[in-house]
Amino acid sequence: MTTHSRRAFTLIELLVVIAIIAVLIGLLLPAVQKVRESANRIRCMNNLKQMALGCMLHESNVNRLPSNGSNYRFVGDPEMGDGANQPGGWHYNILPYIDQGNLHGLGLGRSAAERRETNKQIMGTVVPLFHCPSRGVAQQITSVFTSFSNINRPSVFARSDYACNGGNRTTGWSTYVSKNQTGVIFSQAGTRVQEILDGLSNTYLIGERFINADNYNDGSDPGNDQGWSVGHDYDTYRATDYKASDLATSSTYAPRQDRAGLNIRESFGSAHPATFHMAFCDGTVRPISYSISGENHSRFGNRADGMVNAE
């Protein structure tokens, strides 16, 4: 009777196989990450497209773009309409135009005391459209801010990755609540399309915003501490200030990729490498390089400077 012996793998052969698998995984992983980031960018651009459409529908309905409300102490209130008396910011004001009408009307017809509680509920409500998947961070954050005016103190707030274009502050850089800004959505002013003299395709509408990567989830970043439902604040607004005579200060407003340890709350930016996304007033969404010149970035942020931009 003939017997056949079965030869086993040696340790060296096993290690070689494992090494080959590790190399293949190492080669494949960047490709997988690249595909994932590409898909995330498409979703992010679609988010901006839908929000820009919401802004345009708002303009068609009430003859002006949404305002950005009063200030960080107030959230949207369904009893205050959609004009200068509305304390909520642009996110809140476009809710009826992005299939979130029920959320916008939460508390309608109730007493002021009851609305303080429903406003807290609105503040904690996650709206998926307001999130860029590339950040991949918590959509609700524990609230540490206490000085609200028309809301009972919330335990959490829902955040957004997007901000409106406030433009440049023509009355000085010391306050972000200037009513003389050159952008299209700022404070309680509702800009009319006719006021965008540089053309809808040459003017920023809304875009992605920079956030300190150390403070994605803890609510301690003053530019990411109150959520999407508040009025005019760095949670909902960004600027494009630029002065050739003061480049050091102007650099504060340059767009940038998220970075740990950098406390900048005025800038547009994102978690994406190389470029971030901006929706323009004609509804188009474009990738913008972080290396865009301060002058061109400022021109895109200005609705009526008479300058044609060159990206």
pLDDT per residue as tens digits for the range 190-238: 899 999 999 999 999 999 999 999 888 888 888 888 999 999 888 999 9
Would 310 be classed as within a structural domain? no
d(CA 64, CA 129): 22
Would 13 be classed as within a structural domain? no
* Residues contacting 150, CB < 8 A, separation 6+: 73, 74, 75, 77, 87, 112, 115, 116, 119
What is the domain range of residue 212? 47-301
d(CA 192, CA 134): 33
Cβ distance 303 to 196 under 8 Å? yes
* Residues contacting 18, CB < 8 A, separation 6+: none
Would 28 be classed as within a structural domain? no
Confidence of residue 16 (pLDDT cuts 50, 70, 90): confident
Smallest CA-to-CA distance from 140 within 128, 153, 152 is with: 128
Would 4 be classed as within a structural domain? no
87-135 pLDDT, tens digit per residue, is 999 999 999 999 999 999 999 999 999 999 999 999 999 999 999 999 9
Q: How many domains does the chain have?
A: 1
Half-sphere exposure at residue 237, Cβ-oriented, CA atoms within 13 angstroms: 33
d(CA 113, CA 125): 19
Would 230 be classed as within a structural domain? yes
Query: Hey, what are 214's tokens?
Result: 């150390």
Lowest mean pLDDT among 20-24, 147-151, 168-172, 219-223: 168-172
d(CA 13, CA 19): 10
Would 269 be classed as within a structural domain? yes
Average pLDDT, the chain: 87
Distance of CA 285 to the CA centre of its chain: 14
d(CA 307, CA 302): 9
DSSP reduced 3-state for 218 = coil
Q: Is the pTM of this model over 0.85?
A: yes
Would 115 be classed as within a structural domain? yes
Cβ distance 258 to 276 under 8 Å? no
49-85 pLDDT, tens digit per residue, is 999 999 999 999 999 999 999 888 999 999 998 888 8
Largest CA distance in the chain: 101
pLDDT of residue 87: 92
Would 8 be classed as within a structural domain? no
Cβ distance 160 to 100 under 8 Å? no
Cβ distance 210 to 230 under 8 Å? no
* Residues contacting 207, CB < 8 A, separation 6+: 48, 162, 163, 165, 238, 268, 276, 277, 278, 279, 288
d(CA 71, CA 289): 30
d(CA 26, CA 165): 41
d(CA 246, CA 33): 39
E-state strands within the chain = 140-142, 156-158, 162-165, 185-186, 189-190, 204-208, 237-238, 256-257, 269-270, 275-280, 285-289
Confidence of residue 173 (pLDDT cuts 50, 70, 90): very low
- End-to-end, the C-alpha distance of the chain in Å comes to 83
At residue 189, does pLDDT exceed 80?
A: no
d(CA 251, CA 253): 5
DSSP reduced 3-state for 278 = strand
